[in-house]
């Protein structure tokens, strides 16, 4: 779900910047602060060791990213939206590390390469679909689209948390 929304982000950012400030250049600023946040998040994950269960961290970072996208879509203040774009970008670093750790931890050793390739292909496909949908939606509905995308991410995260209460994650090869 995150890949779908992130795939649409460049288009929706231009639309959102235009909605908030009246010019497409503001959207470029939003894309840039997302990129700076992403760079900072990647540096953070390089410096701070990964801790905790990969599936829990994946759900946590996804949910927080969804909240950031919701705020980007509904708050009418360009400064706040810029900060939230940067935060969403920052969260992409730890989220990516958590997904890699989850793939490594929970996939069978003999099928691990297939899991990595399949997940990579799925992310690329979802990102392309997100860009296509965002292009069809257009700039006028960018805020609504960001809020809906963020809400979908949050709902999936909540569903995964609720599922954990009924069926905790089990490492392969353990009873």
Q: Look at residue 131 and tell me if it is in a domain.
A: yes
Q: Look at residue 123 and tell me if it is in a domain.
A: yes
Number of domains forming the structure of the chain: 1
Banded pLDDT at 169 (limits 50, 70, 90): low
pLDDT (0 to 100) of residue 171: 57
Distance CA 77, CA 53 (A): 36
Q: Look at residue 15 and tell me if it is in a domain.
A: yes
pTM of the model: 0.89
Q: Look at residue 173 and tell me if it is in a domain.
A: no
Mean pLDDT of 50-71: 94
Taking a C-beta distance cutoff of 8 angstroms, is the pair 106, 172 a contact? Answer: yes
> Between these two residues, 28 and 171, which has the higher pLDDT value?
28
Nearby residues of 141 by Cβ (< 8 Å), 6 or more positions away: 15
Mean pLDDT of 1-18: 93
For residue 113, give the CATH number of its domain. Answer: 1.20.1250
**Range(s) of the domain holding residue 79:** 2-166
73 closest CA partner among 175, 155, 144, 165: 144
pLDDT-wise least confident of 49-53, 63-67, 122-126: 49-53
Q: Look at residue 171 and tell me if it is in a domain.
A: no
Mean pLDDT of 37-60: 93
At 99-157, the pLDDT tens digits run 999 988 888 889 889 998 999 899 999 999 999 999 998 889 999 999 999 999 999 99
Q: Look at residue 142 and tell me if it is in a domain.
A: yes
Banded pLDDT at 172 (limits 50, 70, 90): low
pLDDT (0 to 100) of residue 78: 97
Question: Which pair of tokens denotes residue 162?
Answer: 């609720």
119 closest CA partner among 130, 110, 131, 127: 127
Distance CA 11, CA 37 (A): 18
Distance CA 71, CA 128 (A): 23
Sign of the CA dihedral running 114, 1, 135, 69? negative
């Amino acid at each position: 779900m995150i890949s779908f929304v992130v795939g649409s982000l460049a288009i929706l950012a231009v639309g959102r910047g235009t909605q908030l400030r009246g010019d497409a250049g503001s959207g470029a600023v939003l894309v840039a602060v997302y990129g700076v946040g992403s760079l900072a998040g990647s540096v953070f994950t390089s410096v701070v060791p990964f801790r905790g269960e990969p599936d829990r961290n994946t759900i946590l970072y996804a949910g927080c990213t969804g909240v950031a996208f919701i705020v980007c879509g509904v708050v009418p203040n360009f400064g706040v939206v810029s900060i939230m774009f940067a935060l969403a970008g920052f969260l992409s670093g730890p989220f990516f590390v958590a997904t890699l750790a989850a793939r490594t931890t929970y996939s069978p050793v003999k099928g691990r390469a297939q899991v990595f390739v399949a997940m990579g292909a799925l992310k690329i496909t979802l990102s392309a679909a997100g860009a296509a949908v965002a292009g069809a939606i257009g700039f006028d509905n960018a805020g609504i689209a960001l809020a809906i995308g963020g809400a979908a991410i949050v709902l999936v995260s909540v569903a995964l948390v609720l599922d954990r209460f009924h069926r905790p994650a089990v490492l392969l090869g353990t009873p």
